[in-house]
Structure 1
Amino acid sequence: MDISEITIEGDTPGIAWRLPVFHFKGDDSRAPTVYIQAALHAGELPGTALVHFLCERLRRAEAEGAIAGSLTIVPHANPIGLAQSHFGELQGRFDLGSRANFNRDFPLIPLEKRDTLLADLGRFSATDRLKRKLLHMALGAELVLDLHCDDESLQYAYIDTVFWPEAADLASALSMDAVLLSDGESSAFEEAVGYAWKHEGGGERRTSLPGRLSTTLELRGTREVYPEMAAADAEGLFRFLVARGIVRAVSEPLPAFARPAAPLDNIEMIRAPEAGTVLFHRDIGDRVEAGERLATIVTRPGFPEGAIEVWAPQAGLIVTRVSSRFARRRGDLMKIACDLPSSASRKPGTLED
C-alpha cells in the first residue's frame, strides 16, 4: 500500500487541510479499477470505520500477491467539514462559508474533459477545489463507491438505473435492506461520475454502462459505528471486490438480491404538517400499510386538540427516520420505499438537500 497526500490550501491565511489517499496497485491490467471514499459529509463515520477494516484486509491480500485491480481509497474525504463545529456540534454536511452541501454542485463534464477539473484551481474556493480533486480521482476508476450514512436508517444504496440490475451483486454482498433507484439527474458526487461516463465522447446519452458502477452507499445511521459492524461491512465489500475480480480469493457465490429495489418516484417522503414534538409509532425496518399511524406531532402541549396524527399514504418499508424529536413545519420525518409511485410530485434529482 502506498500513501499520498493532497493539500487543500484554505481561503484565509495560515489554513490548509491534508487529505491522505491510499493506493493498492493491481497486477492485472484487465481487472477493474476501484475508487472508494468515505465521509464526504464529514460527520458520517460508518464508512470511515468500514474503510479502516477494509484496508487491513487489503494489506493482507497485497502481501499474498492477490490484488488484481488497482484501488484508490480516501478514508475521510472532507477535512474541511471535519473542522467545522458550532457550539460543540460537528457541522459536516454544509460548508459554513458558502452554505453549499459538500455532496452537491460537483462539475458535470464528459469523461474526456477530466483533466480540466484541475486547471486554474486558484480561481475556486477551497471547498470547490476539494470537490474537483475528489472527482478527478474518481474518474480514473471504473467502480466508484461513495460511503455515506443516513440519520436513523436501514442499510441501503442509491444506484442509478443505468447500473441496475448489474449492481445487484454489490447490494447482495453488503446485505442491503433496500436499493433506491435514482435517475442520475443531480450534481451529487456519484451522479457527477455517472454523468461523465454517460456523456463520454459526445453523441447520445448512454443508457447502459456495463462493467462500470457509481453509487452512494448509506451505511445505516450516524450512530451505527461499532467495530463488529464495521468489520462485517468491510468483509461484505471485500466479497464484492472478489466477485468483480479486483481481488483474487476463494469466496462463495453471492446470493441473488431479493430485497426491495424502488425507483425514487416510489419513495414516500413523510413530512411534518406542523411544527412540534414528534412521537413515533413506527420504526425503521417496519412494513406499514396504507392508513397506518406513523407519528403523532404535539403541536401545542397541554392544550385540547393540541396534537395531530401522521398517516402512511401507502404500504411500504420504512427505510429512514430522523433522530430529532422536534420537527419544523414540513421537516422530513421518514422515507418509505413503496411498490407504487407516490402521489406527491418530485423534481428530478435527490430526495433531500
Structure 2
Amino acid sequence: MAHHVVDLPLGGNPPGTARSVRLHRFGSAGARPLVYVQGGLHATEIPGMLAADRLVRRLMALDAAGAVTGEVRVVPVANPLGLDQRVFDERIGRFDMAGNGNFNRDHADLLDAVVARVDGRLGADAAQNVATIRAAALEAVATLSPLSQADHLRRTLLSQAVDADIVLDLHCDDIAPLHLYLGTPLWPGAADLAADLGAEAVFVAEISGGHPFDEACSALWWRLAAHFGPEVPILPACLASTVELRGMGDVEADLAARDAAGIIAFLQRRGAIAGTPPPLPELRCQATPLAGVDMVSSPVAGIVLPKVAVGDEVAAGACVAEVLDPSGPAAGGLEAPRPVALCAATAGRVWSLTTRRFVDPGTVVVKIAGAAPLPGKTELLLTP
C-alpha cells in the first residue's frame, strides 16, 4: 500500500476541544513483520520525536520504491496532551497534570482479559497460538473503557501496537548515552537492535513495575506462557523496547538521521524492509539487570556538584556528587554547612546524570549500572 496518514481521534475531551494522534502507515496492511514506532510519549523528550520524523521521511522513499515488505506504523508525536501542558511557559510532558500519573506508566494489563478469550483455544502449534493471542489482545484493547483523556490516549496507542512483532518506544534521559530497556526473555535475541542503534547500555527485567508501554506489548507473552505452562508453546512474539535516545539536550539533525538509519538497518535485518543491511556493528555493551541500577538520590535539598561524568567507572562507596546548602552559616556560626556526599552503592558505569542543578530530597542525581541485582530492590525498578 502507499503511505497512508490517519489522524486517530482521542476521546474524553471537553466540549469545544478535540485532539488526535497522527499515524503513518507503510507497506501492506496485514503483512508481517508488523512494526510500531512512536516518539514523544513523554512530550518534553524531543530526540524521539525528531528521530521518528526522520524515520518517516526515510520510509516514505522506501515505500514509494516498494521496499517496505512488512507493515510499519509510526506515530512521531504520541502525546498531544503533554504538549499542551504549560505552566509559566514551561512544558510539562512527563506527567498528566489532571492527576493521572506518568504518561508511560499504567498502560493496560491485558493478561486476565486475554486468558479469558484464549482459554481452551491454544494447542501445540506455536504459530497458531501467536495468531490467536494477537487477535484476543486486540479485542481486549477494544473493550477498554477509559474515562480520562490520558487513558483514552493510552488505549489509542496500544490499539496500534499490541499485535506488533516489534515495538520501539522512543524516549530520552537527562544526560545519558543511548540505552535500551528490554524484557529479560528478549535478550540476547535483541542484540542486533542494540548493535544497530549503538546502544552503550542495555537494562533487562522480566517485569520492571509500573506497566510502561513497552511491557504492555511484550510482557503479556511471557506472562501468558507462565500462566498456561510448558505444555502450551507460547513464544515471546513481541520484541518491545523503550529506546532512550541519549539526553534531553541531544536534539540534532545528524543524531536523528543516524538513529533513523539504525532503525532502518534493524528492520532490514528483521525482514520488514527489503535490501541488504550494512554489516552489523560490534555490540558496545552486554545487558545488565535493571535491578542492578544504583539510583543515587539526594537526602537533602541544595545545589548539585557532580563528581563524575557519564561513562566513568566507579567503585562501590565512591563519592559521585555533592549537594551544597548555599545559605551559609547560621547566626553566630563560624563555618558554612559542609556539602553532603552522595556515594555509590555498587561498582559500575555511570550512565545518567540529572540536568537539575538544585535538587530536593529524593531527587535521583546519578545512575550507575551494576552487574548484579542490588539488595532491597522492590518490584518498582523505574523512576516515577
Q: Which residue of 1 aligns with 2:142?
A: 118
1:298-346 deviations in whole A, cap 9, x for unaligned? 1254332431212223321111111001111121111100123324x11
Aligned to 2:124: none
Partner of 1:9: 11
Q: Structure 2 length as normaliser, TM-score?
A: 0.86
Q: Cα offset for 1:133?
A: 1.3
Please tell me whether residue 172 in structure 1 is matched to residue 195 in structure 2.
yes
Say whether residues 1:324 and 2:360 are aligned partners.
no
- Over aligned residues, Cα RMSD in angstroms? 2.1
In the aligned structure 2, how far is the partner of 1:63 from the partner of 1:92?
Answer: 34
2:374 equivalent in structure 1? 342
What is the Cα deviation at residue 282 of structure 1? 0.8
What are the ranges of 5 or more consecutive residues in structure 2 without an aligned counterpart?
115-132, 330-334
Q: Which residue of 2 aligns with 1:269?
A: 295
Partner of 2:213: 189
The alpha carbon displacement at 1:100 in A equals: 1.3
Deviation at 1:273, TM superposition (A): 2.3
Secondary structure of residue in 2 paired with 1:270: strand
What is the match of residue 57 of structure 2? 56
Residue 152 of structure 2 corresponds to which residue in structure 1?
Answer: 129
- Give deviations 1:190-247, integer Å, cap 9, x for gaps: 1111233234586139998455301100111111110011001111111101111111
Cα gap change, 1:86/1:28 in structure 2, threshold over 3 Å: closer, same or farther? closer
TM-score normalised by structure 1 residue count: 0.93
Q: Could you tell me whether the CA contact under 8 Å between 1:276 and 1:300 is conserved in 2? A: yes
Give the 3-state SS of the residue equivalent to 2:102 in structure 1: coil
Measure the CA separation in 2 of the matches of 1:152 and 1:185.
21
- Report the Cα distance in structure 2 between the residues aligned to 1:107 and 1:9, rounded to whole angstroms: 17
Q: Which moved more, 1:290-299 or 1:172-181?
A: 290-299
Contact 1:163 1:209 in 2 (8 A): no
Q: Are the equivalent residues in 2 in contact too, given 1:41–1:81 (CA < 8 A)?
A: yes
Q: Distance in 2 between matches of 1:146 and 1:155?
A: 13
Residues in 2 aligned to 1:116 and 1:260: alpha-carbon distance in whole angstroms: 36
Give structure 1 regions of 4+ aligned residues with deviation exceeding 4 angstroms: 199-202, 205-208
Residue 281, structure 1, aligned to residue 307, structure 2: yes
When Rg is computed on C-alpha atoms for both structures, the one with the higher figure is: 2
| Mapped pair 1:231 → 2:257 | yes
Contact kept in structure 1, 2:181 and 2:241, CA below 8 Å: yes
**Corresponding position of 2:40:** 39
Alignment partner, residue 69 of structure 2: 68
What is the identity percentage for the equivalent residue pairs of Structure 1 and Structure 2? Answer: 34
How far apart are the structure 2 equivalents of 1:292 and 1:257? 28
Unaligned segments of structure 1, at least 5 residues: none
Tell me which amino acid in the other structure corresponds to 1:154. Answer: P
Does residue 243 in structure 1 map to residue 269 in structure 2? yes
* DSSP-derived class of the 1:67 partner: coil
Matched residue SS, 1:340: coil
**Alpha-carbon separation, structure 1, partners of 2:199 and 2:155:** 30
Per the TM alignment, residue 162 of structure 1 is displaced from its structure 2 partner at its CA by 1.2
Change (3 A) 1:63 1:81: same
- Aligned with 1:152: secondary structure? coil
Secondary structure of the residue aligned to 2:218 is helix
Contact 2:222 2:236 in 1 (8 A): no
Note if contact 1:3-1:23 (Cα within 8 Å) is conserved in structure 2.
yes
**1:36 and 1:73 in contact (8 A); partners too:** yes
